[in-house]
Chains A and B, each alone.
Chain A
Amino acid sequence: MTDVTEPDDGTAAAPAPRPVRGWRALGVALRPRATRAQALTGVLCVLLGFAIAVQVRQTDTESLTVMRESELVSLLDQTTRQADDLQQQVAELERTRTELRSAGSSRDTALEAATRSAAAQGILSGRLPAEGPGITVTVSDPSRSVSALTLLNLLEELRNSGAEAIQLNDQRLTASSYVLGTDDGIEVDGSPVAPPYRWVAIGEPTTMSTALAIPGGAVAKVQIDGGSATVSTEDQVEVTATRDVPDPQYAEPETSGGG
């Protein structure tokens, strides 16, 4: 670049090979020309820029290799502390998870118990159809001489012997069922029933049949009234009739009482 002979602005008309300096030298140097010096400088600068970029990237990615021992030690300390903290967090979260799990399982247990209890209540209250071992009792009364009291007696006998679900003809009989004798015949829970009376009861079959057959018992009373009763024990009977259970209007669960 020292071979510049033409002055830039024309004012310096000195043709002497005096070297240009300062800003003018900068301007001359910045002017792109195809000289060997420019090409060489360019190539070296490409190399330098490349090396800088590579090194910066390298430092970003692998800063660990150029660190001093003390730095590494403090970094290790810090990392160990962090790991301890995280371990503690893990332990805490695991404890929480265990708690939640056990809470969930106890909730499941409660739900299961509630479901079972709902099924039992449904069968006992007549809300759900039921099936199981039991007996069928057919009371034929062609002369319509069997009284309501005798039928009620039969029902009570079934209850006493442990019947869990009872159906008379197409009506479900529950704890609140009643049998009423009227001028027109016999009413059960407000609906008239006509002979033959076909009872289905789920429970222990032999207990119930024995209870009905005792001398002076339910079957005997039917015969005294002028009808006839046939008791048959079966492995599988179905109580299909259901009844709606109204919500209690006055009674409420005792809040302080358990169960």
Chain B
Amino acid sequence: MIAVIGLIVGVVAGLVLEPTVPAALQPYLPIAVVAALDALFGGFRAVLDGLFDDRVFLVSFLSNVVVAALIVFLGDQLGVGSQLSTGVVVVLGIRIFSNVAAIRRHLFKA
């Protein structure tokens, strides 16, 4: 419940404050968001599995974000930034789908 409220509060804050992303961070933010989404779904799945652990969630959340940003940064330095971001998004998307599939099996037995 607190997670849902937190999401809503964050969205509202983002809309109300209207911050501008620093130019240096602009390429990384979308990837970081996708990575965080992946961590969120993973945590949700762990909750349903009964295996949720806040420390694991925190570490996976932060490491997902950092590693995703790092990969994009590396790709930018190597001149293949757009391809690498696409690759990261694909991988994270697959992980999100598999997590969602597990959640679905838990909740709907299907």
Residues of A within 8 A of B (CB): 1-2, 19-23, 25-26, 29-32, 36-55, 57-59, 62, 65-66, 68
A31 — which chain B residues lie within 8 A by C-beta?
1
Q: Are A58 and B18 in contact (CB under 8 A)?
A: no
A45 and B3 in contact, given A1-B52, A25-B48 (Cβ under 8 angstroms)? yes
In this assembly, does B96 line the interface, its C-beta being within 8 Å of a C-beta of chain A?
no
CB-CB under 8 A from B13, the residues of chain A are: 46, 49-50, 53
Interface residues on B, range: 35 or more
Considering only CB atoms, which chain B residue lies closest to A30 in the complex? B1
Cβ-Cβ contact count across A and B, 8 Å cutoff: 136
Shortest B50–chain A CB gap in Å is 3
Contact A48 B54 (CB under 8 A): no
Tell whether, in the assembled complex, residue A2 and residue B50 are in contact, meaning their CB atoms are under 8 Å apart: yes
Any A CB within 8 A of the CB of B110: no
Closest to B61 in A: A44
Nearest neighbor of A59 in chain B, beta-carbon distance: B30
| Other-chain contact of B9, A23, A29, A49, A62 (Cβ < 8 Å) | A49
A3 CB, nearest partner CB in chain B, Å:
11
Task: Please give, as numbers and ranges, the residues of chain B lying within 8 Å of A20 by CB-CB distance.
Answer: 50
Tell me whether A19 and B51 are in contact (CB under 8 A).
yes
Measured CA separation A131–B28 after assembly (Å)? 91
Which of chain B's residues 2-45 have a Cβ closer than 8 Å to chain A?
A: 2-15, 18-21, 26-27, 29-30, 32-33, 36-37, 39-40, 43
- Chain B residues in 8 Å Cβ range of A48: 7, 10, 33, 36-37, 40
Interface residues of B (CB under 8 A from A): 1-15, 18-21, 26-27, 29-30, 32-33, 36-37, 39-40, 43, 47-54, 57-58, 61, 82, 106-107
Task: State A65–B50 Cα separation when bound (angstroms).
Answer: 43
Q: Which residues of A contact B58 (CB under 8 A)?
A: 40, 44
Inter-chain contact A2/B33, CB cutoff 8 Å? no
A37 touches B6 (CB 8 A): no
Name the one of A29, A37, A50, A59 contacting B11, with C-beta atoms under 8 angstroms. Answer: A50
Q: In the complex the two chains form, is B6's CB within 8 Å of A41's CB?
A: yes
B47 touches which of A1, A52, A62 (Cβ 8 Å)? A1
Compute how far the CA of A52 lies from the CA of B106 in the bound complex, rounded to whole angstroms.
27
